[in-house]
A and B are shown apart, each in its own frame.
Chain A
Amino acid sequence: MIAPIRPGPLPASMQLTEDGRLRHFLTIEGLPATLLNEILERANSFLSITAQPVKKVPLLRGKTIFNLFFEPSTRTRTTFELAAKRLSADVMNMNINVSATKKGESLLDTLRNLEAMHSDMFVVRHEQSGAAQLIAQHVAPHISVINAGDGRHAHPTQAMLDVFTIRQHKGDLTALRIAIVGDILHSRVARSQIHALNTLNTGEVRVIAPKTLLPANVRNLGVHVFHSLTDGLKDVDVVIMLRLQKERMTGALLPSEHEYYRLYGLTPERLEYAHPDAIVMHPGPVNRGVEIASEVADGPQSVILEQVSNGIAVRMALMSMCLGIPSGVAA
Chain B
Amino acid sequence: MRNIIKLSVTLAVVGIISAALLTGVYNVTAPIIAERQEAEYRQALELYFPGFASYDSEEIGDDYFDLIYDGSDELIGIMGTIEQQGYDGTITYNLAMDDSGSIIGVRVVSHSETPGIGDVITTEVFQEQFFGKNYEDPIVAGDDVNAITGATVSSSAMINSIRRVSGVVAENFLGVESVAIDISEVPDGTYQGSAPGLGGELTVEVEVSDGVIVSIEVIEHNETPTYFIEAYPFIPEQIIAEQHFDIDTQTGATISSEAIIEAVQNALREALGIEVGEEPEEEPVDINISEIPDGIYVGSGEGFYGPITVEVEVAGGQIVSIVITGQDETPEYFRESNPLIPERIIEEQSLDIDTSTGATFSAKGIVQAVLNALDSESGGED
The answer to whether A and B assemble together is no
* A-to-B contact residues, CB < 8 Å: none
Residues of B within 8 A of A (CB): none
